[in-house]
């Protein structure tokens, strides 16, 4: 299975990556669903929605501070490094990610499309134009307030019920419709419209290489090679095989 995937990756002319929370699991970030998923303990409606931010800003910012602290100082695992190597070698490897932890960029990858935004910056909830980088130290008093107009700040992630950044999601679908291979890594493929990206690749006749220890919503057909394993182990092995074939 993995050698077949390495061969297809080697022959691929315009591969694309599509990643989810599982891509960062071995760097210490928790996933949202599954056994130890965050949504088993916390309510997405309360913590990841505009209404939740407006009604309970302090609780929501406690949550983001906890996630920023987790995300602060974590390092991209070997799977990230393998993707960075592959991107440099191939010269093109757009990375579409649902993750807001910034680890693809932190591992030196370029052409990263963060379709759910990033938790590493915040802006004014009343859109007065204020914008700032975020780190745990900057979150002493919660909720953080806009220094220009006094409104609450919001993390620059897409909250449930909000539209995805138009340019980013339309380019993601365009890449899916034009690629010949998509690596779908660490996602349960459940949250639309992002989840539609791998399906758009399949519809265009691309091959999908799925890297995930568990089964997902992706159809198991001849165009899908599902490698049941962890991103931090499979990606280095795959890229190593692609390199030395
Ligand atoms: N390597 C690869 N995949 C893994 C690993 C690992 N080490 N550990 C877990 N996984 C897989 C799980 O089997 C699961 O299929 O990662 C997937 C994580 O799924 P979710 O927690 O649903 O995360 P994701 O698909 O990214 O969720 C999409 O939902 O809550 C929203 O905005 C949030 O961007 C997120 C979106
Ligand atoms: Zn403001």
**What is the per-residue pLDDT across 66-94, written as a single tens digit (0 to 9) for each?**
888 887 878 899 999 999 999 999 999 99
Q: Which ligand is nearest to the CA of 132?
A: 2
Q: Nearest CA to 110 among 130, 95, 90?
A: 95
- pLDDT over 80 at 27, yes or no: yes
Tokens 């990375």 correspond to what residue? Answer: 95
d(CA 127, ligand 1 centre) in Å: 31
* Its pTM surpasses 0.85: yes
Which of 18, 186, 226 to mutate to test ligand 1, by most ligand atoms within 8 A of the CB atom?
186
Residue with tokens 């695992």: 77
CA angle 40, 64, 123 (to 5 degrees): 135
The pLDDT score that the predictor gives to residue 104 is 97
The bound ligand whose nearest atom lies closest to the alpha carbon of 154 is 2
Q: Which of 26, 168, 169, 188 to mutate to test the pocket of ligand 1 (most atoms within 8 A of CB)?
A: 188
Number of CB atoms found within 10 A of residue 47's CB: 21
pLDDT, average across residues 106-126: 96
For atom 15 of ligand 1, the residue with the nearest CA is 188
Q: How many A from CA of 130 to the centre of ligand 1?
A: 32
Region 206-213: what's the mean pLDDT? 98
What is the bridge-based pairing of β-strands 117-124 and 131-133? antiparallel
- Is residue 166 among the annotated active site residues? no
- Pairwise CA distance, residues 74 & 184, whole Å: 22
Question: How large is the average pLDDT for residues 194-205?
Answer: 97
Q: Which residues contact 132 (CB under 8 A, 6 or more apart)?
A: 121, 122, 123, 138, 153
What confidence tens digit (pLDDT) does each residue in 51-65 have? 999 999 999 999 889
Structure tokens at 100: 């807001």
In the chain, the domains with their CATH numbers are 2-28+75-116+164-244 (3.40.50.1220), 32-73+121-157 (3.30.1600.10)
Closest atom, ligand 1, to C-alpha of 37: 21
């Amino acid at each position: 299975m993995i050698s077949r995937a390495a061969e297809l990756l080697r022959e691929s002319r315009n591969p694309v990556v599509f990643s989810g929370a599982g891509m960062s699991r071995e760097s210490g970030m928790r996933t949202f669903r599954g056994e130890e998923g965050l949504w088993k303990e916390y309510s997405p409606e309360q913590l990841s929605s505009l209404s939740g931010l407006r009604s309970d800003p302090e609780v929501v910012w406690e949550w983001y501070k906890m996630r920023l602290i987790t995300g602060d100082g974590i390092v991209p695992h070997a799977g990230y490094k393998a993707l960075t190597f592959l991107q440099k070698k191939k010269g093109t490897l757009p990375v579409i990610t649902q993750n807001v932890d910034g680890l693809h960029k932190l591992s030196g990858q370029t052409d990263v499309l963060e379709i759910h935004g990033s938790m590493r910056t915040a802006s004014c909830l009343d859109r007065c134009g204020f914008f700032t980088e975020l780190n745990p130290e900057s979150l002493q008093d919660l909720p953080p307030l806009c220094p220009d107009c006094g409104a609450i700040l919001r993390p620059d992630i897409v909250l449930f019920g909000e539209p995805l950044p138009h340019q980013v999601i339309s380019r993601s679908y365009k890449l899916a419709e034009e690629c010949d291979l998509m690596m779908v890594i660490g996602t349960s493929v459940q949250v639309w419209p992002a989840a539609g990206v791998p399906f758009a690749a399949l519809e265009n006749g691309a091959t999908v290489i799925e890297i995930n220890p568990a089964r997902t919503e992706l159809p198991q057909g001849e165009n899908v090679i599902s490698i049941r394993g962890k991103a931090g182990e499979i990606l280095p092995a795959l890229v190593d095989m692609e390199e030395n074939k």
